[in-house]
Protein backbone atom coordinates (compact mmCIF):
# COMPACT_ATOMS: atom_id res chain seq x y z
CA UNK A 1 0.00 0.00 0.00
CA UNK A 2 1.39 3.41 -0.89
CA UNK A 3 1.96 6.19 1.58
CA UNK A 4 -0.83 8.36 0.18
CA UNK A 5 -3.36 5.57 0.29
CA UNK A 6 -2.35 4.73 3.82
CA UNK A 7 -2.74 8.35 4.96
CA UNK A 8 -6.10 8.58 3.20
CA UNK A 9 -7.28 5.32 4.75
CA UNK A 10 -6.25 6.33 8.23
CA UNK A 11 -7.85 9.76 7.86
CA UNK A 12 -11.12 8.19 6.73
CA UNK A 13 -10.99 5.80 9.67
CA UNK A 14 -10.47 8.72 12.03
CA UNK A 15 -13.46 10.55 10.55
CA UNK A 16 -15.46 7.33 10.91
CA UNK A 17 -14.57 7.09 14.59
CA UNK A 18 -15.64 10.69 15.19
CA UNK A 19 -18.91 10.01 13.34
CA UNK A 20 -19.68 7.05 15.59
CA UNK A 21 -18.77 9.08 18.69
CA UNK A 22 -21.15 11.84 17.55
CA UNK A 23 -23.90 9.27 17.01
CA UNK A 24 -23.31 7.76 20.43
CA UNK A 25 -23.51 11.19 22.04
CA UNK A 26 -26.76 11.86 20.15
CA UNK A 27 -28.26 8.61 21.43
CA UNK A 28 -26.96 9.14 24.97
CA UNK A 29 -28.41 12.62 25.33
CA UNK A 30 -31.74 11.47 23.96
CA UNK A 31 -31.89 8.57 26.37
CA UNK A 32 -32.12 10.97 29.30
CA UNK A 33 -34.81 9.59 31.58
CA UNK A 34 -37.67 12.06 31.56
CA UNK A 35 -37.92 15.30 29.65
CA UNK A 36 -34.64 17.16 29.03
CA UNK A 37 -36.61 20.40 28.83
CA UNK A 38 -37.96 19.81 32.33
CA UNK A 39 -34.45 19.02 33.50
CA UNK A 40 -33.31 22.32 32.08
CA UNK A 41 -36.14 24.43 33.48
CA UNK A 42 -36.73 22.64 36.75
CA UNK A 43 -39.84 21.03 38.23
CA UNK A 44 -42.42 23.82 38.11
CA UNK A 45 -42.00 25.15 34.57
CA UNK A 46 -44.98 26.28 32.54
CA UNK A 47 -46.04 24.06 29.61
CA UNK A 48 -45.38 26.80 27.05
CA UNK A 49 -41.88 27.35 28.45
CA UNK A 50 -41.24 23.63 28.18
CA UNK A 51 -42.47 23.62 24.60
CA UNK A 52 -40.21 26.58 23.77
CA UNK A 53 -37.14 24.86 25.18
CA UNK A 54 -38.05 21.64 23.40
CA UNK A 55 -38.32 23.54 20.13
CA UNK A 56 -35.03 25.26 20.79
CA UNK A 57 -33.33 21.93 21.39
CA UNK A 58 -35.09 20.53 18.34
CA UNK A 59 -36.72 17.87 20.51
CA UNK A 60 -40.15 18.49 18.97
CA UNK A 61 -38.97 17.02 15.67
CA UNK A 62 -39.12 13.33 14.75
CA UNK A 63 -35.97 11.46 15.76
CA UNK A 64 -34.55 10.98 12.25
CA UNK A 65 -34.93 14.72 11.55
CA UNK A 66 -33.13 15.46 14.83
CA UNK A 67 -30.34 13.11 13.86
CA UNK A 68 -30.00 14.58 10.39
CA UNK A 69 -29.91 18.12 11.80
CA UNK A 70 -27.42 17.15 14.48
CA UNK A 71 -25.04 15.70 11.92
CA UNK A 72 -25.54 18.52 9.41
CA UNK A 73 -24.85 21.13 12.09
CA UNK A 74 -21.85 19.19 13.26
CA UNK A 75 -20.45 18.99 9.74
CA UNK A 76 -20.70 22.78 9.54
CA UNK A 77 -18.95 23.07 12.89
CA UNK A 78 -22.11 24.20 14.66
CA UNK A 79 -22.37 22.57 18.08
CA UNK A 80 -25.46 24.47 19.18
CA UNK A 81 -25.84 27.09 21.91
CA UNK A 82 -25.49 26.98 25.65
CA UNK A 83 -28.91 26.72 27.29
CA UNK A 84 -27.74 28.91 30.11
CA UNK A 85 -25.77 31.75 28.52
CA UNK A 86 -27.06 31.53 24.95
CA UNK A 87 -23.48 31.74 23.71
CA UNK A 88 -22.55 29.21 21.03
CA UNK A 89 -20.91 26.05 22.33
CA UNK A 90 -17.93 26.58 20.05
CA UNK A 91 -17.33 30.09 21.41
CA UNK A 92 -17.83 28.94 25.01
CA UNK A 93 -15.21 26.25 24.60
CA UNK A 94 -12.84 28.56 22.70
CA UNK A 95 -13.11 31.19 25.45
CA UNK A 96 -12.24 28.64 28.10
CA UNK A 97 -9.45 27.07 26.08
CA UNK A 98 -6.56 29.45 26.72
CA UNK A 99 -5.94 28.69 30.42
CA UNK A 100 -6.39 24.96 29.84
CA UNK A 101 -4.02 24.87 26.86
CA UNK A 102 -1.51 27.01 28.75
CA UNK A 103 -1.50 24.65 31.72
CA UNK A 104 -1.30 21.65 29.42
CA UNK A 105 1.55 22.93 27.27
CA UNK A 106 3.63 24.27 30.16
CA UNK A 107 2.89 21.02 32.00
CA UNK A 108 4.12 18.88 29.11
CA UNK A 109 7.20 21.09 28.79
CA UNK A 110 8.01 20.68 32.48
CA UNK A 111 7.44 16.93 32.18
CA UNK A 112 9.76 16.55 29.19
CA UNK A 113 12.47 18.77 30.72
CA UNK A 114 12.50 16.56 33.80
CA UNK A 115 11.76 13.17 32.30
CA UNK A 116 14.07 12.81 29.32
CA UNK A 117 17.28 13.65 31.25
CA UNK A 118 16.07 11.61 34.24
CA UNK A 119 15.33 8.64 32.00
CA UNK A 120 18.71 8.81 30.28
CA UNK A 121 20.61 9.12 33.56
CA UNK A 122 18.58 6.30 35.02
CA UNK A 123 19.39 3.99 32.10
CA UNK A 124 23.06 4.88 31.74
CA UNK A 125 23.68 4.69 35.51
CA UNK A 126 21.60 1.56 35.91
CA UNK A 127 21.44 0.09 39.43
CA UNK A 128 23.36 2.98 40.90
CA UNK A 129 21.96 5.57 43.26
CA UNK A 130 21.03 7.94 40.42
CA UNK A 131 18.88 5.18 38.93
CA UNK A 132 17.21 4.41 42.27
CA UNK A 133 16.40 8.05 42.90
CA UNK A 134 15.03 8.58 39.37
CA UNK A 135 12.90 5.42 39.30
CA UNK A 136 11.74 5.99 42.87
CA UNK A 137 10.61 9.54 42.18
CA UNK A 138 9.02 8.43 38.90
CA UNK A 139 7.06 5.74 40.76
CA UNK A 140 5.90 8.29 43.28
CA UNK A 141 4.93 10.63 40.44
CA UNK A 142 2.65 8.12 38.72
CA UNK A 143 1.04 7.28 42.06
CA UNK A 144 -0.17 10.78 42.90
CA UNK A 145 -3.35 12.41 41.63
CA UNK A 146 -2.50 15.73 39.94
CA UNK A 147 -5.02 17.69 41.95
CA UNK A 148 -3.39 16.52 45.17
CA UNK A 149 0.05 17.52 43.92
CA UNK A 150 -1.61 20.87 43.21
CA UNK A 151 -2.86 21.14 46.80
CA UNK A 152 0.57 20.24 48.18
CA UNK A 153 2.27 22.78 45.89
CA UNK A 154 -0.27 25.39 46.92
CA UNK A 155 0.42 24.79 50.62
CA UNK A 156 4.19 24.74 50.22
CA UNK A 157 5.47 26.76 47.26
CA UNK A 158 2.34 28.89 47.05
CA UNK A 159 2.61 30.11 50.64
CA UNK A 160 6.42 30.29 50.72
CA UNK A 161 6.88 32.27 47.52
CA UNK A 162 4.65 35.36 47.52
CA UNK A 163 5.59 36.13 43.91
CA UNK A 164 3.66 33.07 42.77
CA UNK A 165 -0.07 33.72 42.94
CA UNK A 166 -1.98 30.67 44.10
CA UNK A 167 -5.28 31.59 42.56
CA UNK A 168 -6.73 32.45 39.17
CA UNK A 169 -5.22 32.98 35.76
CA UNK A 170 -3.64 35.85 33.84
CA UNK A 171 -3.91 35.83 30.07
CA UNK A 172 -0.69 35.77 28.10
CA UNK A 173 -1.79 39.08 26.58
CA UNK A 174 -1.15 40.65 30.01
CA UNK A 175 2.50 39.74 29.68
CA UNK A 176 4.57 36.61 29.90
CA UNK A 177 5.64 37.03 33.54
CA UNK A 178 2.16 37.29 35.09
CA UNK A 179 0.99 34.52 32.77
CA UNK A 180 3.79 32.15 33.69
CA UNK A 181 3.61 32.94 37.40
CA UNK A 182 -0.07 31.94 37.39
CA UNK A 183 0.42 28.89 35.21
CA UNK A 184 3.56 27.42 36.76
CA UNK A 185 2.03 25.69 39.79
CA UNK A 186 -0.98 24.13 38.04
CA UNK A 187 1.32 23.12 35.18
CA UNK A 188 3.74 21.45 37.59
CA UNK A 189 0.84 19.62 39.23
CA UNK A 190 -0.30 18.30 35.87
CA UNK A 191 3.20 17.68 34.56
CA UNK A 192 4.73 15.67 37.41
CA UNK A 193 2.71 12.44 36.96
CA UNK A 194 3.31 12.82 33.24
CA UNK A 195 7.04 13.15 33.95
CA UNK A 196 6.90 9.91 35.94
CA UNK A 197 5.46 8.01 33.00
CA UNK A 198 7.88 9.47 30.46
CA UNK A 199 10.88 8.83 32.72
CA UNK A 200 9.96 5.16 33.01
CA UNK A 201 9.42 4.84 29.28
CA UNK A 202 12.63 6.65 28.38
CA UNK A 203 14.54 4.46 30.80
CA UNK A 204 13.27 1.12 29.50
CA UNK A 205 13.48 2.21 25.89
CA UNK A 206 17.03 3.51 26.42
CA UNK A 207 18.11 0.31 28.16
CA UNK A 208 16.84 -1.66 25.22
CA UNK A 209 18.66 0.54 22.72
CA UNK A 210 21.89 0.44 24.74
CA UNK A 211 22.05 -3.32 24.31
CA UNK A 212 21.57 -3.18 20.53
CA UNK A 213 24.32 -4.27 18.17
CA UNK A 214 24.61 -0.93 16.39
CA UNK A 215 25.48 0.73 19.70
CA UNK A 216 28.27 -1.79 20.20
CA UNK A 217 29.43 -1.17 16.65
CA UNK A 218 29.42 2.58 17.14
CA UNK A 219 31.46 2.24 20.29
CA UNK A 220 33.81 -0.25 18.66
CA UNK A 221 34.37 2.21 15.81
CA UNK A 222 35.88 4.45 18.44
CA UNK A 223 33.17 7.15 18.40
CA UNK A 224 33.13 9.24 21.57
CA UNK A 225 30.71 7.70 24.13
CA UNK A 226 28.71 10.90 24.36
CA UNK A 227 28.16 11.02 20.60
CA UNK A 228 27.16 7.36 20.58
CA UNK A 229 24.71 7.95 23.39
CA UNK A 230 23.05 11.06 22.03
CA UNK A 231 23.22 10.54 18.29
CA UNK A 232 22.64 6.80 18.00
CA UNK A 233 21.05 6.00 21.33
CA UNK A 234 18.68 8.82 22.12
CA UNK A 235 17.30 9.14 18.62
CA UNK A 236 16.14 5.55 18.64
CA UNK A 237 15.14 5.48 22.28
CA UNK A 238 12.78 8.43 22.02
CA UNK A 239 10.65 7.01 19.21
CA UNK A 240 8.43 4.79 21.33
CA UNK A 241 8.12 7.68 23.78
CA UNK A 242 6.71 9.89 21.02
CA UNK A 243 4.03 7.36 20.11
CA UNK A 244 2.39 7.39 23.51
CA UNK A 245 2.19 11.19 23.60
CA UNK A 246 -1.32 10.99 22.17
CA UNK A 247 -2.49 8.40 24.66
CA UNK A 248 -1.15 10.50 27.49
CA UNK A 249 -3.25 13.42 26.30
CA UNK A 250 -6.35 11.81 27.79
CA UNK A 251 -4.60 11.39 31.10
CA UNK A 252 -3.41 14.97 30.98
CA UNK A 253 -6.90 16.31 30.33
CA UNK A 254 -8.34 14.57 33.39
CA UNK A 255 -5.54 16.07 35.44
CA UNK A 256 -6.04 19.60 34.12
CA UNK A 257 -9.78 19.63 34.81
CA UNK A 258 -9.23 18.80 38.48
CA UNK A 259 -6.19 21.04 38.85
CA UNK A 260 -8.17 23.99 37.46
CA UNK A 261 -10.57 23.53 40.36
CA UNK A 262 -7.72 23.60 42.89
CA UNK A 263 -6.28 26.84 41.55
CA UNK A 264 -9.56 28.53 40.68
CA UNK A 265 -8.70 28.77 37.01
CA UNK A 266 -11.65 29.59 34.73
CA UNK A 267 -10.77 27.11 32.02
CA UNK A 268 -12.32 24.23 30.15
CA UNK A 269 -12.58 22.13 33.30
CA UNK A 270 -14.47 24.85 35.12
CA UNK A 271 -16.79 25.19 32.11
CA UNK A 272 -17.49 21.45 32.12
CA UNK A 273 -18.21 21.21 35.83
CA UNK A 274 -20.41 24.29 35.78
CA UNK A 275 -22.29 22.93 32.77
CA UNK A 276 -23.10 19.75 34.65
CA UNK A 277 -24.33 21.71 37.64
CA UNK A 278 -26.53 23.77 35.34
CA UNK A 279 -27.61 20.75 33.26
CA UNK A 280 -26.28 22.55 30.21
CA UNK A 281 -26.44 19.60 27.79
CA UNK A 282 -25.25 21.34 24.60
CA UNK A 283 -21.97 22.28 26.30
CA UNK A 284 -21.44 18.80 27.72
CA UNK A 285 -22.16 17.00 24.45
CA UNK A 286 -20.17 19.57 22.44
CA UNK A 287 -17.19 19.09 24.75
CA UNK A 288 -17.26 15.33 24.36
CA UNK A 289 -17.17 15.71 20.59
CA UNK A 290 -14.49 18.42 20.52
CA UNK A 291 -12.22 16.46 22.85
CA UNK A 292 -12.63 13.21 20.92
CA UNK A 293 -11.87 15.00 17.65
CA UNK A 294 -8.67 16.42 19.16
CA UNK A 295 -7.85 13.02 20.61
CA UNK A 296 -8.43 11.04 17.40
CA UNK A 297 -6.62 13.44 15.12
CA UNK A 298 -3.73 13.95 17.49
CA UNK A 299 -3.18 10.22 17.49
CA UNK A 300 -3.44 10.11 13.73
CA UNK A 301 -0.87 12.88 13.54
CA UNK A 302 1.49 11.10 15.96
CA UNK A 303 1.06 7.89 14.00
CA UNK A 304 1.93 9.53 10.69
CA UNK A 305 4.80 11.43 12.30
CA UNK A 306 6.15 8.19 13.70
CA UNK A 307 5.87 6.59 10.29
CA UNK A 308 7.75 9.43 8.64
CA UNK A 309 10.66 9.36 11.11
CA UNK A 310 10.90 5.59 11.14
CA UNK A 311 11.07 4.22 7.60
CA UNK A 312 11.11 0.67 8.94
CA UNK A 313 7.43 0.85 9.83
CA UNK A 314 5.28 -0.74 7.18
CA UNK A 315 2.05 1.03 6.36
CA UNK A 316 -0.97 -1.10 5.79
CA UNK A 317 -0.90 -4.73 6.81
CA UNK A 318 -1.27 -5.60 10.53
CA UNK A 319 -2.56 -3.44 13.30
Partner 1 sequence: MSTDYGDADTFFGVRLDRFERLYEAVAGDYKATFGLVTVTLFVLAAIFAPELAPYDPMAQEYAIMQAPSLSSAHPLGTDSFGRDLLSRMMYGARVSLGVSLGAVTIGAVVGVSLGVVAGYFGGWVDDALMRFVDVLWAFPWLLVAIMLVAIFGQGVWNVIAAIAFAYIDDFARLARGEVLSIREEEFVLAAKNIGLGDLGIMTEEVLPNAVAPLIVQFTVLIARAILAESTLSFLGIGVKPTTPTWGALLGQGRSLIGQAWWISIVPGVAIVITVLGINLFGDALRDAFDVRGEGGSP
Give the interface with partner 1 as residue ranges (CB under 8 A).
13, 16-18, 20-21, 24-25, 28-29, 31-33, 139-140, 142-148, 151-152, 154-155, 197, 200-201, 203-204, 207-208, 244, 250, 253-255, 257-258, 261-262, 272-273, 275-276, 279, 281, 284-285, 287-288, 291-292, 295-296, 319
CB closer to partner 1 out of 48 and 127: 127
Which H/E stretch holds residue 209? helix 176-210
Q: Who contacts 113 (Cβ-Cβ below 8 Å, separation ≥6)?
A: none
Q: How far is the CB of 174 from partner 1 (least distance, A)?
A: 26
Least distance from partner 1 to the Cβ atom of residue 25, Å = 7
Residues 127-157, buried b or exposed e (16+ Cβ, 10 A)? Answer: eeeebeebbebbeebeeeebbebbbebbeee
Of the candidates 106, 139, 141, 148, the residue with the CA atom closest to the CA atom of residue 259: 148
Residue 245 phi/psi, 5° resolution? -50, -40
Q: Are 82 and 89 in contact, with CB atoms under 8 Å apart?
A: yes
Residue 52 C-beta: closest distance to partner 1, Å: 22
CA dist 128 → 123, 205, 211 (Å): 10, 18, 18
Give the separation between CA 156 and CA 169, rounded to whole angstroms. Answer: 19
CB of 155 to partner 1, least distance (A): 6
**What is the nearest approach in angstroms of partner 1 to the Cβ of residue 195?**
13
Of 38 and 180, the one with the shorter C-beta distance to partner 1 is: 38
Counting DSSP H helices and E strands in the chain, the numbers are: 15, 0
The SS3 assignment for 81 reads strand
Q: Return the number of the residue (218 or 289) whose C-beta is nearest partner 1.
A: 289
Shortest distance in whole angstroms from residue 173 CB to partner 1: 29
Nearest CB to partner 1, comparing residues 97 and 151: 151
CB nearer to partner 1: pick between 20 and 72: 20
Question: Which CB, 106 or 189, lies closer to partner 1?
Answer: 189
Amino acid sequence: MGVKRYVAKRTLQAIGVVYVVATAVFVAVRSVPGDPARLVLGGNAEPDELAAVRAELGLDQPIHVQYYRWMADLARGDLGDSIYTGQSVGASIANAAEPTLSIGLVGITIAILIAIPAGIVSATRRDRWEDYVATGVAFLGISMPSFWIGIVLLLTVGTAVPAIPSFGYASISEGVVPWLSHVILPAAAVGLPYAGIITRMTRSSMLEVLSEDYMQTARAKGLPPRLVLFKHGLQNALMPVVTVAGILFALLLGGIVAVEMVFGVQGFGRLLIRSIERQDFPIVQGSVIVVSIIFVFMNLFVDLLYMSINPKIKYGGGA
